[in-house]
Amino acid sequence: MASPPKVYFLGNPEKPNVGETLDRLRGFADTRCNVVGSSLSLDGREAVDAGADRIIVLGGDGTLISVARSLGREQVSLIGVNLGKLGFLAEFSVDELEESFDRAVSDDQLITHRTVLNVTIRRNRHDPTDYLAINDCVIHAGPPFRMIHLALQIDGERLTNVSGDGLIVCTPSGSTAHSLSAGGPIMEPGVEAIILTPLNPHSLTHKPLVVERESVIGIEGHRVNEGTTLIIDGQASCPIQDGDRVAIRRFEKDWQVVHNPLYPKWHNLTTKLHWGQPPTYH
C-alpha cells in the first residue's frame, strides 16, 4: 500500500487573510495526506527539508514564481492557490483545490515541467552574479530613457545589435507575461524553447525570435543609460553598465506546477486572456 503524499503549505504573508485560508486548507488536508509543515513564507527550502512531495502555495502568480526561484536545484511540484488577481499560473481557487485535492496531490500526470533560465552577469573583474528566471529577464533602458544599444550573440555567434528600449528573454511560461504585451508569441508552457522579444526596436526588422532551449544567449551593453537595469521576473534587479555581459542559458532543472484537473488545458488562455474570443458589440 502506497504511503500518503507529503504536503507542505506556504502562504504569502503579504496577502490579506492568508493565515485563515492556510488554516482552513491545512485542516481539510490533515485527514487526506501527510502534512509535513506550513509557514507564512516564500522560501520553499523549508518544504524540501521536510521531504514534501507537493508544496501548496497560497498567494498568486508572483508568489508561485518566488517559491519556484527559491527552490533552485531542489524543485518540488507546486500547487498554486490564487489569492491574487489573474491566477494564470496559480490555477486553483480554495474551493477548487478542496474539490480536486486527492488528484492534485497524488496524480503525477497533472504535473507540467517548465523551463527555467540561468542568468549570469559579468562586469570587468568582478565575480559573476547569477539569477534564476522562471518567466523572463528584461534589459530595460531606464532613465534618462534614451535609446540603448545591445550586442546579441547566440551560441557564441554574433547575431545583431538591438537598438531601442531593451530586450526581453523569456521562457514559454513567461511568453504570456511582459513578452506578450511587447508583441511576442504565445507559447505552450512545455515547449522546449527560449523567446527573444525586442522592446520598441529602432529597426522594424527586429522581430521576436524563438530559439532552441539549449541555446546560450549572450548580450553585451554597448551604449546604455544610467538607469538601465536587468530585471528578473519583476522581482530582482541589477544595474547594467557599458561593457557588462549577460549570459542566459537553460537551468539544469525544470520547475514543476500542477494543472487544475477541473478545467481543460487551454482554459486560462481562452477565459482569462480571452484569446481567440470575438469582439464584443454594444
* Residue 19 identity: G
C-beta of residue 41 within 8 angstroms of C-beta of residue 10? yes
How far is the C-alpha of 23 from the C-alpha of 231, rounded, in Å? 34
User: Kind and range of the H or E element at 47?
Assistant: helix 45-49
Name every residue whose Cβ is closer than 8 Å to that of residue 151 and which is 6 or more positions away in sequence.
158, 161, 219, 220, 222
Name every residue whose Cβ is closer than 8 Å to that of residue 106 and which is 6 or more positions away in sequence.
5, 33
Q: DSSP string spanning 115-173? A: --EEEEEE-TTSPPEEEEESSEEEEE--TT---EEEEEEETTEEEEEEEESEEEEE-SG
Q: Could you tell me which of 133, 176, 169 has the C-alpha nearest to residue 153?
A: 169
Residue labelled with grid coordinates 514534501: 52
Q: In what order do the strands lie in the sheet with 136-140?
A: 209-212, 193-199, 166-170, 136-140, 229-232, 236-239
Name every residue whose Cβ is closer than 8 Å to that of residue 107 and which is 6 or more positions away in sequence.
261
φ, ψ (nearest 5 deg) of residue 154: -130, 120
C-beta of residue 109 within 8 angstroms of C-beta of residue 84? no
Residues tagged active-site: 61
The set of cell numbers assigned to 34 is 501527510
